[in-house]
Structure 1
Amino acid sequence: MTTEPAPPMTTTDLTVGGMTCAACVRRVEKKLAKLEGVTATVNLATGRARVSHPPDVRPEELVATVEQAGYTAALPEPPKSRRRPDVPGDGDDAGRGGGPGSGSEGVRSERERLLVTALLAVPVLVLSMVPAWQFRNWQWLCFVLAAPVALWSAWPFHVRALRGLRHSTATMDTLVSLGVVASFAWSAYALFLGGAGAPGMRMPFSLLPSAPDGVAHVYLEAAVGVPLFVLAGRFLEARARHGTGAALRSLARLASKEVSVREDGTERLVPIEELTVGQTFVVRPGERVATDGQVSEGNSAVDLSLVTGESDPVEVGPGSPVVGGAVNAGGMLLVRATAVGADTQLARITRLVTDAQAGKARAQRLADAVAGVFVPAVLALAVTVLGFWLGAGADPQAAITACVAVLVVACPCALGLATPTALMAATGRGAQLGVLIRGPQALEGLQHIDTVVLDKTGTLTSGHMTVARVTAVPGGLGKDAVLRLAGAVEQGSEHPLGRAVVAHARRALAEGDALPEVRDFRAEAGRGVRGLVEGRPVEVLAPDEGLPAALADALPVAEAAAHTPVVVHVDGVAEALIEIGDVVRPGSYRAVDRLRRLGVHPVLATGDREAPARAVAAALGIEEVHARRTPEDKADLVRRLRGEGRRVAVVGDGVNDAAALAGADLGIAMGTGTDVAIGAADVTLVRGDIEALGDAVRLARRTLGTIRANLLWAFGYNLVTVPLAMVGLLNPMVAAVAMSASSLLVVGNSLRLRAWQPAAGRRGERAGARGRAGVRGRTPVVAGGRTR
């Protein structure tokens, strides 16, 4: 009997409007989950839902389901062909959330409602709180001013509460609406029937509910204070949440709208959507590179700081790759497009940040589950408090005051915002620093890792061969002359060792000079190259017997340093020994040292030979080394380490690292690595800078600490204030202030992550790391394990 494979799932993003608290999030998720095969993750901070569903469930059905739950929903605008990189909400409102109507018009409407409410509510609050200013019939003026606040200003709360009632659900708006209605209704009763409308009535203000001389207390300050403070709190909260999405909006602004294409010697300005792979476009000084490409003509420096966080401009010339969004800081460039639209690095970065912000940490799922029953529980508590106080023979005013305070002070908003606001701020800040984190699971993994398996070539080292040392025979042609001839003959070679010699020889030339041409070039596999340069036979060969004493003495030194030695022969005579190896990245010292300081044990695993692996490990102070490891060996190593109870992260950049990356607790790819490695990783270091790994660990720990603090505050606030309201120790107006402040504190705490900085004192760390590694002011060069 065979089982049919599960159908592939489709992911659709929806913009959801009308959500105000975690109870709304829970409601939308549960409603969508009722559709067969559908699961959804809703983010209150962004106002978006990511829905996974079978292909036969149409997106329109998802929209209709959300609307049936009492909220608005919309599908994202269908992108034009290769429209600007995949940036959700590709404008100023990107990342703001709030769904339809949350754009500039919605913000303007909220601001106007808040201003009108403040103009009407402030006189009521002042007269209620300052008895000395209470003139004859002041209470009736307050009633007239409070009526439009309780009706018009609080109208959005009433509408959403009624909508929820129609769908048999209750949210934060239900609590606010009931609190306003109860406060205003009781005040109207007190004025018309309870004796509070008598001319000359005075009412002292107290933080605790009270009733002077048995006269019914007028709670108009609560009726206007609750809408005023809740509207102000939500407006400020929306502004703050908008700030947490700044990274996405800054990425959106990097995308060009037009590009100057050059064809047949003429230029024309076209929309970026019309640019195709293979076309050549012009980038003038100060302009942004329109899309990913390769320089075909011109030399310049490009500023990548806004794309990858790289602080120093990068020199580019013919053949150099450039990234869309980078700023041309030098001369004019002609660039051939190699990727457009959703295939560019900028689009990939944006997608990774968006995906990360769509997820939920485990703690937030618990908070959402609590929020799902929170509002019904608060309603039940409010009714219970009212019944208890009346049943105990208490004054009806005291009973209603306690009931209203319970309704107003309870706040599930903070529960819903605790994780998404921190996650948005952290992933955005990480992107600015060149660290792309796929989601909350990756953050949690970063926090807990205690072992990191590091690849050598391309991760700790640059992956590019370079000349480490040149030893010339005393009394011979001299180092510079030999290097010039060796560089000339190696121009015909494609071997990495040959390219390293050529590059070094060109750098040693005087300005304006060029290497001479080579004739009769021949390359012998495993042996070396030879040719005629300026009429003289020149050979660059592997070492053999019969070397001059100076070169023979240099050979064991090169081998001890794990360099690859080659000997330059001119006119049949050995003139110099050139040592070639792979360069250890300068940031590797600081990275390994900082990981060790964070309590993370470094392990080196490489497919390279034992000698170069040990040389790198010794330079960086890594004690555990595994050399000559195949991809399968690396994956086995990771499984063994995990079997020992370690939480393992793997850092790599190549196809041979993909299996280990996928099998680790956390996979970390270098941004300069292959698509396979990046696709298997949970975290990508965009600049290819291993030093950013320590920053990623610290950022993850800070973020999860912030989330825990937010949740502790959100739960603790309700555990303290709700009982106080139940026993009549909170004035409803004070309760409204406290409720609004709770959400603002959570969002404000999360916003601190936007200003988070990498470790200070890097210079001191660098000196410490180099001192421990035994390196004094030079960059070690080790062999890459390659032979001629």
Structure 2
Amino acid sequence: RDRLKQTAPGALVLEANGSSRWTRADALRPGMTILVAAGERLAADGRVVEGESGLDIAFLTGESAPVRVHPGDDVQAGSLNIDGPIRVEVTAAGADTVIADIARLMEEAGQGKSRYVRLADRAARLYAPCVHLLAALSFAGWMIAGAGVHQALLIAVAVLLITCPCALGLAVPAAQIVACGALMRRGVLVKDGSALERLAEVSEAVFDKTGTLTLGRPVPQGLRRLWRDDRSILLSLSRASRHPLSVALRQALEARGATPAALDNVREVAGEGVFADYEGVAVSLARPRSLINLFGLAAEYRRGDQALLLGFTDALRPDAAETLDVLRGMGMKILIASGDRPEALEEIARETRTTAIGHLRPADKLALIDRLKARGEKVLMIGDGLNDGPALAAGHASMAPASASDASQLTADAVFLGDRLAPVALTVHAARRTVAVVKQNFALAIGYNVLAVPLAIAGKVTPLVAAVAMSTSSLIVIANALRLKGVVK
């Protein structure tokens, strides 16, 4: 659970007499009232008793839009308070919070995966004792047949040398090291060799939406229709706030080369927006006044009596639809599982031609993975948020983008860089090719032993020839593994 760093270390507890005191998170108890300032994370689950604000609960739902909360609404530990101060009555703290439940789910789900034993380990358990037993039997057999101790000992040594498990021992790690190196050059970090074995076996891919299929950051729309001075005003207004939409707007305007305008009386009103004066005219970047918001994510730019609604979208990764088609071509089933609202999934489901399920909490995603596993599917889970952690741990294999939360990156078997989704398909392809090469290496190693060992037992091979043969077999296995250098061209 120490991997989950979303909660605050403590909170300001309000006493009945009006005083306040800082209290550690593990000392909070139900019934206490805490004050959560703008920019702070909640240290406990609770219910809002005073104030209104926007909360970032992406760790729980994966949804990028801040959620408005009012008195009477339930809030969870780990939520980031964006706009203004709120008072919260604690209902659960410590091990009883929702975020603690996520940690427990991750630990329980990960236990099954840790029992996965690599193929090479299974083979090595039997190989060494069998080789020594075979050499001892060869020595005893030649002694019974009347050979001298010297001759019988040379034959036993030749058997030991020619059946040295180097080729078998290199069959798996050589292929995996080469494949992992090739993937790393393409921006994919694979945690260990057993991950490649599991990635090669996956039959269904389950994708989170926000931050996985999408870029996970709001992108403002319609900036081209703004006049240059409006862009300058908006840049200055957006620089005055740390709201996610303001940050996205600032980055987009700076990327377009906008220069900030000189504003007067700049002020931010919690929960409302940023207000200022430009050449004697009131300007603002604020919450939309309309109750109907067709964009889902929007802010309203006002200049005097004029108002313009700026819509924001969370764009799909540029190759998302193409990558899903590639995975389907590899025989995999595809599913989108998200904490977002179902209506927020409709367009993405249509663009990617994929079934999407919404309103899933962490436990729901874990239950979904378990149902798929019960049907015989080997699930590849791809997600980025803390809410995806239990599902990532429960999947037969898992991947996360480099922009994912720390917990998700630690849980995932592989992490990929960049804005493209293609590394997911590349990794599955590389894993399958790696397992194919591993099987070839095992066939080479076993075939070599089947031919060489009888010759050594029959006394037809000297220790020197046996040593040369053993080294040659190892070189052949390594050369075969090196073919994987071009596995992800």
Give yes or no for TM over 0.5: yes
Between the aligned partners of 2:153 and 2:124, the Cα distance in structure 1 is 30
Which residue of the partner structure matches residue 373 of structure 1? Answer: 130
Which residue of the partner structure matches residue 46 of structure 1? Answer: none
Matched, 1:468 2:468: no
Other structure's SS at 2:206 match: strand
Compute the displacement of 1:722 (Å).
Answer: 2.3
Which residue of the partner structure matches residue 602 of structure 1? Answer: 334
Distance 1:522 1:750, change over 3 A: closer
Which residue of the partner structure matches residue 56 of structure 2? Answer: none
Q: How does 1:262-661 map to 2 (within 5 A)?
A: 361-384=118-141, 387-388=144-145, 406=159, 409-470=162-223, 479-509=227-257, 513-519=259-265, 521-523=267-269, 525=271, 528-541=273-286, 559=294, 564-574=297-307, 576-619=308-351, 621-661=352-392
- Whether the aligned pair in 2 keeps the contact of 1:385 and 1:726 (CA below 8 Å) is no
Q: 1:384 is matched by which residue type in structure 2?
A: G
- Whether the aligned pair in 2 keeps the contact of 1:489 and 1:533 (CA below 8 Å) is no
Between the aligned partners of 1:634 and 1:533, the Cα distance in structure 2 is 49
Matched, 1:756 2:486: yes
Q: 2:262 is matched by which residue type in structure 1?
A: P
Distance 1:756 1:385, change over 3 A: farther
Distance 1:401 1:543, change over 3 A: closer
Between the aligned partners of 1:585 and 1:518, the Cα distance in structure 2 is 39
Distance 1:565 1:688, change over 3 A: closer
Report Cα offsets for 1:307-348 as digits up to 9, x if no partner. xxxxxxxxxxxxxxxxxxxxxxxxxxxxxxxxxxxxxxxxxx
Q: 1:756 is matched by which residue type in structure 2?
A: G
- Whether the aligned pair in 2 keeps the contact of 1:653 and 1:677 (CA below 8 Å) is yes
Compute the displacement of 1:428 (Å).
Answer: 4.1
- Whether the aligned pair in 2 keeps the contact of 1:491 and 1:518 (CA below 8 Å) is no
Which residue of the partner structure matches residue 201 of structure 1? Answer: none
Between the aligned partners of 2:312 and 2:347, the Cα distance in structure 1 is 14
Distance 1:430 1:504, change over 3 A: closer
Between the aligned partners of 1:596 and 1:361, the Cα distance in structure 2 is 27
- Whether the aligned pair in 1 keeps the contact of 2:182 and 2:487 (CA below 8 Å) is no
- Whether the aligned pair in 2 keeps the contact of 1:371 and 1:415 (CA below 8 Å) is no
Which residue of the partner structure matches residue 428 of structure 2? Answer: 697
Q: 1:369 is matched by which residue type in structure 2?
A: L
Provide the aligned C-alpha RMSD in A. Answer: 3.6
Which residue of the partner structure matches residue 284 of structure 1? Answer: none
Between the aligned partners of 1:666 and 1:400, the Cα distance in structure 2 is 49
Distance 1:540 1:412, change over 3 A: closer
Distance 1:673 1:571, change over 3 A: same
Compute the displacement of 1:376 (Å).
Answer: 2.3
- Whether the aligned pair in 2 keeps the contact of 1:454 and 1:605 (CA below 8 Å) is yes
Between the aligned partners of 1:520 and 1:737, the Cα distance in structure 2 is 81
Distance 1:545 1:416, change over 3 A: closer
- Whether the aligned pair in 2 keeps the contact of 1:364 and 1:419 (CA below 8 Å) is no
Structure 2 unmatched runs, 5+: 1-115
Other structure's SS at 1:584 match: coil
Compute the displacement of 1:734 (Å).
Answer: 5.0
Between the aligned partners of 2:393 and 2:350, the Cα distance in structure 1 is 28
Report Cα offsets for 1:450-505 as digits up to 9, x if no partner. 11221222222222212122485xxxxx6444443334434333322223333333
Between the aligned partners of 2:155 and 2:299, the Cα distance in structure 1 is 89
Distance 1:467 1:734, change over 3 A: same
- Whether the aligned pair in 2 keeps the contact of 1:360 and 1:420 (CA below 8 Å) is no
Between the aligned partners of 2:336 and 2:194, the Cα distance in structure 1 is 25
Q: 1:452 is matched by which residue type in structure 2?
A: A
Distance 1:751 1:545, change over 3 A: closer
Compute the displacement of 1:541 (Å).
Answer: 5.0
Compute the displacement of 1:447 (Å).
Answer: 0.8
Between the aligned partners of 2:264 and 2:325, the Cα distance in structure 1 is 46
Distance 1:612 1:444, change over 3 A: same
Other structure's SS at 1:493 match: coil
2:394 paired residue among 656, 663, 681: 663
Between the aligned partners of 1:427 and 1:507, the Cα distance in structure 2 is 35
Other structure's SS at 2:377 match: coil
Between the aligned partners of 2:191 and 2:487, the Cα distance in structure 1 is 20
- Figure out how many residues of one structure are paired with residues of the other and give that number: 374
Distance 1:403 1:387, change over 3 A: farther
Other structure's SS at 2:310 match: strand
Between the aligned partners of 1:374 and 1:435, the Cα distance in structure 2 is 39
Between the aligned partners of 2:184 and 2:406, the Cα distance in structure 1 is 18
Between the aligned partners of 2:255 and 2:242, the Cα distance in structure 1 is 19
Other structure's SS at 1:416 match: helix
Structure 1 unmatched runs, 5+: 1-358, 473-477, 547-554, 761-788
Other structure's SS at 1:462 match: coil
Report Cα offsets for 1:711-737 as digits up to 9, x if no partner. 222222111222244556667765554
Compute the displacement of 1:648 (Å).
Answer: 1.0
Distance 1:499 1:384, change over 3 A: same
Q: 2:338 is matched by which residue type in structure 1?
A: T
Compute the displacement of 1:640 (Å).
Answer: 1.8
Other structure's SS at 1:578 match: strand
Other structure's SS at 1:441 match: helix
- Whether the aligned pair in 2 keeps the contact of 1:724 and 1:730 (CA below 8 Å) is yes
Between the aligned partners of 2:198 and 2:246, the Cα distance in structure 1 is 43
- Whether the aligned pair in 2 keeps the contact of 1:467 and 1:581 (CA below 8 Å) is yes
Which residue of the partner structure matches residue 5 of structure 1? Answer: none
Other structure's SS at 2:200 match: helix
Q: 1:571 is matched by which residue type in structure 2?
A: G
Q: 1:503 is matched by which residue type in structure 2?
A: Q
Q: 2:303 is matched by which residue type in structure 1?
A: V
Distance 1:469 1:417, change over 3 A: same
Report Cα offsets for 1:170-228 as digits up to 9, x if no partner. xxxxxxxxxxxxxxxxxxxxxxxxxxxxxxxxxxxxxxxxxxxxxxxxxxxxxxxxxxx
Between the aligned partners of 1:708 and 1:486, the Cα distance in structure 2 is 60
- Whether the aligned pair in 2 keeps the contact of 1:541 and 1:567 (CA below 8 Å) is yes
Compute the displacement of 1:402 (Å).
Answer: 7.6
Other structure's SS at 1:494 match: coil
Between the aligned partners of 1:742 and 1:507, the Cα distance in structure 2 is 57
Other structure's SS at 1:504 match: helix
Other structure's SS at 2:434 match: helix
Q: 2:433 is matched by which residue type in structure 1?
A: R
Which residue of the partner structure matches residue 449 of structure 2? Answer: 718
- What is the TM-score when the length of structure 1 is the normalising length? 0.42
Between the aligned partners of 2:202 and 2:236, the Cα distance in structure 1 is 50
Report Cα offsets for 1:528-556 as digits up to 9, x if no partner. 5443222112244555679xxxxxxxx9x
Q: Whose radius of gyration is greater, 1 or 2?
A: 1
Compute the displacement of 1:449 (Å).
Answer: 0.9
- Whether the aligned pair in 1 keeps the contact of 2:136 and 2:156 (CA below 8 Å) is no
Q: 1:370 is matched by which residue type in structure 2?
A: Y
Other structure's SS at 1:599 match: coil
Between the aligned partners of 1:509 and 1:733, the Cα distance in structure 2 is 73
Which protein, 1 or 2, shows the higher relative CO under an 8 Å CA cutoff with sep ≥ 6? Answer: 2
Distance 1:688 1:441, change over 3 A: farther
- Whether the aligned pair in 2 keeps the contact of 1:543 and 1:566 (CA below 8 Å) is yes
